[in-house]
Amino acid sequence: MDTLAKWAKNPKIDGGENINFSVSRQGAPSPAFLAFGDCTPFTPSGRRGILKGQPAGNTGAPVACFDNSGGALDILQQVPCTFSFDLNTGKVHLSGAFPNNLPSNLEFGVEYFKQFDAVGVEHILFYSDQASDNAGYVIAMQLVAASEGRTQVAHSPCEAPPAWAALGRPLRPGMVSAEVRTPRLEPPF
């Protein structure tokens, strides 16, 4: 938590530019989802402070992706949401108009798992301790760097990266689509 507070107070530390998060939820009978976004906004309070997702309409505003399978097509539903991570209490809050009878407010405590550097980008992983909906969560925090002349190739985790993403070309401004339809192929029986 102290490292996250250090990043939040100065995102430019260690060559970073901003802080991103991704939260993966798994739990029955409710659906799994992946939420992600930029959580650079920081409110100092207590010993550490609170990280918050970008406001709706801003680049990097949090979104949760649900795979609503059914019929011949898979439909990936993207739901705008809010995100906050209280670094004093270790509690994460997600709120949104989540589908499939999920509560609109989700909260879970975190336990530290590990910190690692992947190609010069710092990551910290946590897993859920106690969740308001009895689901399991994994949260990854990332200090996003754009130093050393690298091009950060970013895309929505809800979409497959474009074929040219491996070339390091920048992506188009509208990276996140409202709906992704993928045909489901089933063997004939």
Domain ranges of the chain: 2-182
How many angstroms from the chain centroid is the CA of residue 10? 20
| Neighbour count for residue 37 (Cβ, 10 Å) | 23
Mean pLDDT across 144-166: 47
Residue 127 — pLDDT band, cuts 50, 70, 90?
very high
At residue 187, the pLDDT reads: 52
pLDDT tens digits, one per residue of 30-42: 678 999 999 999 9
β-pairing verdict for 179-183 and 73-86 = antiparallel
Encoding tokens for residue 92?
A: 């994460």
Whole-number Å distance between alpha carbons of 52 and 41: 5
Indicate the pTM of the whole model. 0.74
β-pairing verdict for 73-86 and 50-52 = antiparallel
pLDDT tens digits, one per residue of 84-107: 999 999 999 999 999 988 999 999
In this predicted structure, the answer to whether residue 66 has a pLDDT above a threshold of 80 is: yes
In this predicted structure, the answer to whether residue 58 has a pLDDT above a threshold of 60 is: yes
Say what percent of the chain tops pLDDT 70: 71
Residue 168 — pLDDT band, cuts 50, 70, 90?
very low
At residue 178, the pLDDT reads: 39
| 3-state class (DSSP) for residue 41 | coil
CA distances from 3 to 6, 14, 114, 184 (A): 5, 11, 12, 43
Residue 155 — pLDDT band, cuts 50, 70, 90?
very low
Q: Are the C-beta atoms of residues 179 and 161 closer than 8 Å to each other?
A: no
Higher pLDDT, 189 or 49: 49
At residue 31, the pLDDT reads: 79
Residues forming beta bridges with residue 70, ordered by sequence position: 73
At residue 76, the pLDDT reads: 84
In this predicted structure, the answer to whether residue 170 has a pLDDT above a threshold of 80 is: no
pLDDT tens digits, one per residue of 171-181: 333 333 334 44
In this predicted structure, the answer to whether residue 145 has a pLDDT above a threshold of 90 is: no
- The CA-based angle 84-124-174, given to 5 degrees, is 60
